[in-house]
């Protein structure tokens, strides 16, 4: 990077914390939007004519556009002011939420979901970009872990609370009110940025030296072996989490283990709570206790694999406390999602950090789709007569165990970023 280039914008203490909490809440809204369809399917199919295929398209549309806009949004974040880019994207997402809420056909719903997914695509990477600009490097993993935990809180609000809201207000009114909240948080984000500009701050981020074009930066990122190792590990880590948490845990707990919907919901809440606790806890341990990224991730992925192997061998009729213990452990070991981002950010030159992180995030999102659909296709092929059985889920968990062990191997070949920072004299 050009040593004469201007330093990135640094906001005053109060303003940067407003930015931090605003981007955290907006990421929580992103997670809410991606998860909200599951509990309102009956309402949607009652009010808008559609079959199950159309309903699946409505649900998946968010993920398609979210993944498609990952890398373009990262390039924009690296080349222009992150706050300006994110504000524009968030307002586009808001338009999608409103369009979804007033839709009278499933095709318009799909359009709204596509717009919402595209608009929220820069939320997480933009948050990491702002954290890297506004806060000390030795707080990055802790703060990014909090962002992820707030995001997972959004998933919680898309479960029982959303059911209660839609029962009382209707799903259309509920989504319009969520959109109003979305607008309020976005405006606080924009105003915190605007107020700083009066002091001569808030200028667009400088373009990099020899910066060439955006595609040149992307090519350099894709040539980096560390990007591939960390991204493939994230593909596995988040893919398994999304598949189990967002799809397969329900039929496993209710149809195989015989639990009631309430008990199954409580176990899923316990898993989500583990993720919420695990992210800031692993970030704190990485930043302040062990001073390592790689080692903590290897231990977490190994623990993740061990938990999956244990679930594969839980018999029908096992004590509820044992299943609860495994689901809580699943969440805690899976709750290290912020560490790969901190790790890769520290291994990547600042001028290409957002682009590298969007490649990582794209891999994780694609992993979710691949594991959700791939595990279903695998089980259907292996057990055509009885897809939902104890044996089929045992095989599913064992496949996930093998995948997670592959993630351990991938991570073993990464470099330790905190050691690099200390060696280069950049540690504070």
Please state, in angstroms and rounded to a whole number, the distance separating the CA atoms of residues 186 and 206: 24
In the listed set 158, 173, 197, which residue is the last one of a domain according to the structure?
197
Instruction: Using pLDDT thresholds of 50, 70 and 90, give the confidence band for residue 12.
Output: low
For residue 248, give both structure tokens: 């397969």
pLDDT in tens, 259-305: 887 788 788 888 988 988 888 888 888 877 877 889 899 999 999 99
Average pLDDT, whole number, for the chain?
82
Closest CA to 119 of 72, 56, 159: 72
Provide the percentage of residues in the chain whose pLDDT is more than 90.
Answer: 34
Same domain, 288 and 316: yes
The per-residue DSSP string of 113-148 comes to HHHHHHHTTTHHHHHHHHHHHHS-GGGHHHHHHHHH
Q: Which residue has the tokens 């994230």?
A: 234
DSSP per position, 174-198: HHHHHHHHHHHHHHHHHHHHHHHHT
pLDDT at 386 > cutoff 50: yes
Contact 59, 116 (CB under 8 A): no
Nearest to 177 by CA among 284, 101, 84: 101
Tell me: do 188 and 214 sit in the same domain: no
Residue 104 in this model has a pLDDT that exceeds 50: yes
Judge whether 4 lies within some domain.
Answer: no
Number of domains the chain is built from = 2
CA gap 334, 310 in Å, rounded:
15
Taking only the tens place, the pLDDT of each residue in 134-151 is 777 777 777 877 888 888
Asked whether residue 364 is domain-assigned, the answer is: yes
Whether residues 227 and 324 fall in one domain: yes
pLDDT of residue 370: 81
Residues 160 and 186 in one domain: yes
Read off the pLDDT of each residue in 186-194 and give the average, rounded to a whole number: 79
What single-letter DSSP state applies at residue 103?
-
Which residue in the block uniquely carries the two structure tokens 């490097």? 137
Provide the pLDDT confidence category of residue 13 given band limits of 50, 70 and 90: low
Tell which of 150, 175, 197 closes a domain.
Answer: 197
**Same domain (yes/no): 262, 309:** yes
pLDDT digits (tens, 9 = 90+) for 343-368: 998 898 877 877 888 889 889 888 88
The verdict on 182 and 237 lying in the same domain is no
State the DSSP string of 258-295: ---HHHHHHHHHHHHHHHHHHHHHHHHIIIIIS--SHH
How many other CB atoms sit within 10 Å of the CB of residue 8?
Answer: 16
**Together in a domain, 267 and 382:** yes
H, E, C per residue of 339-390 = HHHHHHHHHCCHHHHHHHHHHHHHHHHHHHHHHHHHHHHHHHHHCCCCCCCH
Torsion, CA 113, CA 22, CA 279, CA 326, rounded to 10 = -50
CATH number at residue 25: 1.20.1250.20
Supply the pLDDT for residue 411.
Answer: 96
In a domain, 85, yes or no: yes
Residue 5 in any domain: the answer is no
Q: 406-421: per-residue pLDDT in tens?
A: 999 999 999 887 654 4
Query: Does residue 89 lie in a domain region?
Result: yes
> Do 222 and 371 fall within a single domain?
yes
Reported confidence tier of residue 373, pLDDT bands at 50, 70, 90: confident
Residues 169 and 229 in one domain: no
Q: Give the structural domain span for 82.
A: 10-197
**pLDDT confidence band for 194 (50 / 70 / 90):** low
Residue 404 has pLDDT above 60, yes or no: yes
Question: Domain check: are 293 and 151 in the same one?
Answer: no
Q: Are 301 and 335 in contact (CB under 8 A)?
A: no
- Domain match, 239 and 180 both: no
pLDDT 10s digits, 294-322: 989 999 999 999 999 999 999 999 999 99
Nearest to 237 by CA among 53, 26, 403, 12: 403
Residue 8 pLDDT greater than 90, yes or no: no
pLDDT of amino acid 90 = 94
Give the per-residue pLDDT at 426: 44
Average pLDDT value for residue range 386-407: 92
Please say which residue of 145, 167, 197 terminates a domain: 197
Residue 170's pLDDT is 92
Q: What is the tens place of the pLDDT at every residue in 213-253?
A: 667 777 888 889 999 999 999 999 998 998 888 767 877 88
Instruction: Please report whether residue 376 resides in a domain.
Output: yes
113-127 pLDDT tens trace: 999 999 999 888 888
Instruction: Evaluate whether residue 300 is within a structural domain.
Output: yes
* Same domain as 296, residue 153: no
pLDDT digits (tens, 9 = 90+) for 75-99: 788 778 888 889 999 999 999 999 9
Q: Would you say residue 48 lies in a domain?
A: yes
């Amino acid at each position: 990077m050009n040593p004469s280039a201007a330093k990135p914008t640094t906001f005053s203490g109060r303003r940067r914390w407003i930015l931090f909490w605003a981007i955290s809440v907006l990421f929580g809204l992103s997670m809410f939007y991606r998860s909200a369809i599951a509990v309102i399917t009956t309402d949607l199919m009652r009010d808008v004519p559609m079959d199950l295929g159309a309903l699946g398209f409505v649900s998946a549309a968010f993920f398609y556009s979210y993944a498609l806009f990952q890398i373009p949004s990262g390039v924009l974040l690296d080349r222009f002011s992150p706050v300006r880019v994110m504000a524009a994207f968030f307002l586009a997402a808001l338009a999608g939420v409103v369009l979804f809420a007033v839709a009278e056909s499933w095709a318009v719903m799909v359009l709204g979901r596509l717009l919402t997914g595209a608009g929220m695509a820069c939320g997480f990477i933009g948050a990491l970009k702002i954290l890297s600009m506004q806060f000390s490097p030795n707080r990055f993993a802790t703060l990014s872990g909090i962002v992820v935990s707030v995001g997972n809180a959004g998933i919680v609000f898309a479960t029982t609370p959303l059911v209660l809201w839609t029962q009382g207000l209707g799903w259309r009114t509920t989504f319009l009110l969520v959109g109003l909240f979305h607008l309020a948080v976005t405006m606080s984000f924009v105003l915190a940025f605007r107020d700083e500009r009066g002091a001569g701050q808030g200028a667009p981020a400088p373009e990099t030296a020899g910066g060439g074009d955006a595609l040149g930066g992307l090519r350099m990122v894709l040539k980096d072996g560390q990007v591939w190792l960390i991204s493939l590990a994230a593909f596995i880590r988040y893919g398994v989490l999304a598949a189990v948490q967002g799809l397969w845990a329900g039929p496993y707990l209710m149809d195989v283990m015989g639990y009631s919907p309430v008990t199954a919901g409580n176990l899923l809440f316990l898993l989500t709570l583990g993720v919420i606790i695990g992210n800031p806890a692993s970030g704190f341990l990485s930043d302040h206790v062990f001073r390592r990224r790689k080692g903590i991730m290897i231990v977490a992925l190994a623990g993740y694999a061990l938990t999956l192997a244990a679930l594969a061998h839980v018999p029908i009729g096992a004590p509820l406390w044992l299943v609860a213990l495994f689901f809580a452990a699943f969440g805690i070991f899976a709750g290290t999602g912020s560490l790969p981002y901190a790790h890769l950010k520290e291994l990547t030159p600042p001028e290409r950090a957002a682009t590298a992180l969007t490649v990582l995030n794209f891999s994780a999102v694609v992993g979710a789709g691949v594991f959700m659909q791939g595990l279903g296709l695998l089980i259907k092929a292996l057990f055509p007569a009885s897809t939902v059985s104890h044996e089929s889920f045992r095989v599913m968990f064992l496949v996930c165990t093998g995948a997670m062990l592959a993630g351990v191997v991938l991570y073993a070949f990464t470099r330790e970023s905190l050691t690099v920072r200390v060696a280069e004299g950049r540690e504070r």
